[in-house]
Structure 1
Amino acid sequence: MHDVLARQLADHVDTARAVEPLLAGVAELGELLCTTFAAGGRLYTFGNGGSAADAQHLAAELIGRYKRERRPLPAVALSVDPSVVTCIGNDYSFDDVFARQVTALAGPGDLVAGFTTSGTSANVVAGLAAAHEAGARAVLFAAGSGGKAAEHADVSLLVPSDTTARTQEMHLLLLHLLSEWVDAWAAGETDERGAVLQAATTG
């Protein structure tokens, strides 16, 4: 069993190294998220299972804080209201649980982020499509080619792995890197593009 665990750890480390090319995408998304918040927009996140936890984690980092004391930022995870989710799932379809909420809540100037390890989760694909219909921007956290979900994303962070566990581990790393970018901006240390402000380097 020890050998099995050692191989899993080695696979995690190798996948983390392979994620380095995604840093440019993290910067692009960080800039997009900062400009969204600066203009009064909101972030809506969603996913299924472990991906729902990742979506909630990102919202929590933004509303609470990552490392710095700064203002709370408007982010909403769309999987956390069981009455809404079960109402839509029961009266319509589980495939509609995110799209219907996005249609109700999101609009121009907002950002919608979907998490799916496969890129084929029907409700995530529909949620991202609904974002564009509402005039919002769409972001995807997925793996491989991103599947059908990538067709509806303005920015995609695609982990180079076909293993669900490794993909979710890297999604957590990516959302923490994104939180670092936004945290520094909201605390007044950088501008929206990540450039260090003079005030943050003096006195």
Structure 2
Amino acid sequence: MTTSLHGLLDGQLDRHSEVAEAMRAQLPQVQAVADELIQRLGRGGVLYTFGNGGSAADAQHLAGELIGRYLRERRPLPAVALIGDAAVVSCIANDYTYDEVFARQVSALARPQDMVIGFSTSGTSPGVVKGLAAARAAGACSVAFTSIRGKDLAAAAHLAVVVPAEETARIQEMHVLALHLVSELVDRWASNHGEHA
């Protein structure tokens, strides 16, 4: 490996570490999201989650951790990644616009006892903004996983985890860290409260 390439990779790892350390300030928000999700799941609520591109993968990742398991044997927890149904997504995008894909699904499915999490690295994705607005209109708890560029999205949500970075790669890395922390707390609750498989 050339010296310049090695330096580039070192710089990327250093920046990852800096942003990860800065995420300590977001731990109260992560805890608040997990606590609220636990309360809602305990009352029969469902998690609905969504995002675009890499954020869609994060949404699916979180749903998978809840339906499957994170670390412990327990019952599957109700979670739906709204990007996962290609027929529904393409139908809404074709009949309306892509910006309506999440809002129409949330409007159809979300109830007041549910939680809706939108992932957006930019914080300006029209589809995510509209999806969280639909969650609020339905009376569900709206949560934004975003970055410092997404202050308006964060302010419009009930709860927000805001990554203190602007680089998409670092934001996505911290979204995965945050969703793993939420998964750990929910997993521990479910396994400790008779929510076994």
TM range (shorter): over 0.9
Which shows bigger deviation, 118-127 or 141-150?
141-150
Residue 58 (structure 2) pairs with residue 54 (structure 1): yes
C-alpha distance in 2 between matches for 1:94 and 1:147: 23
Residue 107 (structure 2) pairs with residue 135 (structure 1): no
CA-to-aligned-CA distance 1:124-167 (integer Å, 9 cap, x gap): 00000000111111000000052432232100000000100000
C-alpha distance in 1 between matches for 2:185 and 2:31: 8
Match of residue 35 from structure 2 = 31
- Aligned residue among 11, 15, 18 for 1:14: 18
Residue 77 (structure 2) pairs with residue 73 (structure 1): yes
Equivalent pairs counted in the alignment come to 190
Residue 196 (structure 2) pairs with residue 175 (structure 1): no
Match of residue 40 from structure 1 = 44
Identity %: 57
Match of residue 4 from structure 1 = 8
- Aligned residue among 152, 155, 175 for 1:148: 152
The answer for unaligned runs of 5 or more in structure 1 is 191-203
Structure 1 runs of 4+ aligned residues shifted over 2 Å read 145-148
C-alpha distance in 2 between matches for 1:189 and 1:108: 23
Q: In proportion to residue count, which structure has more helix? A: 2
Q: Specify the SS of the correspondent of 1:16.
A: helix
C-alpha distance in 2 between matches for 1:47 and 1:56: 9
Distance 1:189 1:2, change over 3 A: farther
Residue 104 (structure 2) pairs with residue 100 (structure 1): yes
- Aligned residue among 165, 179, 184 for 2:188: 184
Q: Specify the SS of the correspondent of 2:192.
A: coil
The answer for unaligned runs of 5 or more in structure 2 is none
- Aligned residue among 128, 131, 140 for 1:124: 128
Aligned-pair Cα RMSD in Å:
1.2
CA-to-aligned-CA distance 1:174-194 (integer Å, 9 cap, x gap): 00011110000000179xxxx
C-alpha distance in 1 between matches for 2:150 and 2:114: 22
TM-score by length of 2: 0.94
Which shows bigger deviation, 140-149 or 67-76?
140-149
C-alpha distance in 2 between matches for 1:157 and 1:147: 10
C-alpha distance in 2 between matches for 1:107 and 1:187: 25
- Aligned residue among 168, 171, 174 for 1:164: 168
